[in-house]
Amino acid sequence: MRTIAVIAAGVLKELVRRKDLYLIGALLIIVITYSAYASFGGQTGFQRYFKEIGITLTYIFSVVIAVTFASRQIPQEVESKTIYPILAHPVTRMEFILGKFFGVWGISCLSFTVFYGIFIGSIIIHGDRATPGLLLLEGYILHAFLLSFFVALTILLSLFLSTAANTVIAIIIYFGTNWFGITLPGYILLPHPELFDIKEKIIHTRDIVPAWVLLFLICYAIMYTALFLGTTCLVFRRRDL
């Protein structure tokens, strides 16, 4: 466990050195601030319009951060040859993969927390008291587990694809499942990440998600995350570096 934590901490330090989070956070603030001065269909229409822009960008930006960081972890270590001294220590390949996963997921959740905080702060400032706090919490929890799904999937794909191709495909999967869902041919047999997107409920302040549904979706995300990570460990263990 200590080895995994050390590797994860190394990934987190990478966030401090890079400017991705700061740039995207600043962009999110600018867009939300601009939207605050827009006028759209009266006060009720404006609140919905404002929330739709804010939460959509929050979700998208956090997924972009997740897949961008996840897609370059293993290829970057292999190309720079820093993976060899890491694995020369008493570090197993499974510990290396899990450390990278928890590090990237931690970065993803941290960035999402910042973005989500900006979103919630903005709707409070603009007088929205209709959205249930519990619904906002459920939206946060579900998206955090969705990020674990995409981080694990992207790390798996990084064993077969270039960093750029991996990032593009992961983002296409995110948008494709949200736009088309089960209307895609044969998609009933594939994972359903779109189930974690409850922004429509948040925008229109509908009822909260039942506890049993929330628990089911969390287990669903954990199952697929474990499946992707297990497959990654299996493939990586047999691969010559």
Give, for 40, the enclosing helix (H) or strand (E).
none
Q: Distance (Å, rounded) from C-alpha 63 to C-alpha 224?
A: 17
Q: Distance (Å, rounded) from C-alpha 103 to C-alpha 16?
A: 13
pLDDT band at 224 (very low <50, low <70, confident <90, very high): very high
- Smallest CA-to-CA distance from 122 within 187, 179, 46, 173 is with 46
Q: Which pair of tokens denotes residue 200?
A: 């429509």
Number of domains within the chain: 1
Residue-wise pLDDT tens digits, 86-129: 777 778 889 999 999 999 999 889 889 988 888 888 777 777 77
Domain enclosing residue 95, as ranges:
2-238
| CB-based contact 156:233 (threshold 8 Å) | no
pLDDT (average), residues 186-202: 79
Q: Which residue carries 């759209």 as its tokens?
A: 40
- Smallest CA-to-CA distance from 73 within 152, 144, 5, 20 is with 152
> Taking CA 139 as the corner, what is the angle to CA 197 and CA 12, rounded to the nearest 5 degrees?
95
Q: Which residue carries 């579900």 as its tokens?
A: 142
The overall pTM is greater than 0.75: yes
pLDDT on residue 40: 47
Q: Which 3 state secondary structure label does DSSP give 149?
A: helix
